[in-house]
Amino acid sequence: MKDIKAFGERVIDNLQKVMVGKRDTVEMALIGLLCQGHVLIEDVPGVGKTVLARTLARSLDCTFSRIQFTPDMLPSDVTGVSIYDQSKKKFEFRPGPVMGQIVLADEINRATPKTQAALLEAMEERQVTVDGVTHKLERPFMVLATQNPVEYEGTFPLPEAQLDRFLLRVRLGYPNIQDEVRILEEQQLQHPLETLKAVVKTKEVLEAADAIRRVYVSPQVKRYIVDLTRRTRESDDVYLGASPRGSLGLFRSAQARAAIQGRDFVLPDDVKAMAVPVLGHRIIVSPAARLRDLSADRIVEEIVRAQPSPGGDYSSAPRQKRRPERVEGVRKEAK
């Protein structure tokens, strides 16, 4: 996994040229990329949600498109539309912005539910169907959506079906004093994003995404992942728990985290680190828990603390016993 670690450091170092002091969030964006998942960036205005998405797109040698969601948008504004060509006497498909490889869905909760639903097929099946014709999306395909959790006027909450399709939900938070001073200095003459160059090729992204699937996950850690997910369904503080897609997302993101740290096996610590970003947005808090001011993230944190970590060897698969061999009529055990 040394190649994956080197790949990750290149991307992270490039992202940190713009995203000052946000290594943890930058790593989460990289994990989303390696898992070929989608990332929901949720935070207050002005902390760099859109900049993070644009910076990641700039760092990759991939096509980039941006969708600025507004209440008057139509689904065809996202997926594309078939237009009749008079000269050729046939309909031609004009692709929408979702046909890019890295798609920035800016302020996704400002679109109507009908327009939001236009992303469902693209995010899950990696295809778009317009007028009965299916168009495959080019790999890698990743949606980076931004959302303001404070201002709800004129917004439409994302339905659970769409939230479940986001692999991760990340937050940026405010920078500390030193980082904020550095931001002022670096943007005094021009924005660092203007001079940012791509550091990895599309082929490298696909190879890295395929490589993380070979990271070993022991049976104990697999059971640990499933136990955490099932606890979200059994908690009295949760109205709706995480789906099996949540278990798979936790499994895959733990593989990616292990790989970018140079390991070819997953530790329980990888699962713990990814539990809140993967499961937090997939559960609905019960009304009684809301009255106690319990958030979904806090519930997941309490579940992780309460669930014992598994024991055993995490680093290798159990050796299979070989059948005994016979040499010149003498029974001989294989070494």
Q: pLDDT tens digits, residue range 84-106?
A: 888 888 888 889 999 988 999 99
The three-state DSSP-derived secondary structure of 11-63 is: HHHHHCCCCCCCHHHHHHHHHHHHCCCCEEEECCCCCCHHHHHHHHHHHECCC
Exposed/middle/buried for residue 323 (C-beta within 10 Å: 0-12, 13-18, 19+): exposed
Q: pLDDT tens digits, residue range 117-157?
A: 888 889 989 999 888 888 899 989 999 999 887 766 667 88
pLDDT (average), residues 70-94: 87
Q: H-type helices in 64-186, by residue range?
A: 76-79, 113-116, 120-125, 160-163, 177-186
Instruction: Say how far apart CA 251 and CA 249 lie, in whole Å.
Output: 5
The class (CATH top level) of 215-316 is mainly alpha
Q: pLDDT tens digits, residue range 259-318?
A: 999 999 999 999 999 999 999 999 999 998 888 888 999 999 999 999 998 887 777 655
pLDDT (average), residues 38-58: 88
Handedness of CA 128, 129, 133, 134 (dihedral sign): positive
- CB-CB contact of 140 with 62 (8 Å): yes
Q: Locate the domains of the chain by residue range.
A: 1-212, 215-316
CATH superfamily, domain 1-212, is P-loop containing nucleotide triphosphate hydrolases (3.40.50.300)
The pTM is what?
A: 0.86
Using only C-alpha atoms, what is the Rg of the chain? 23
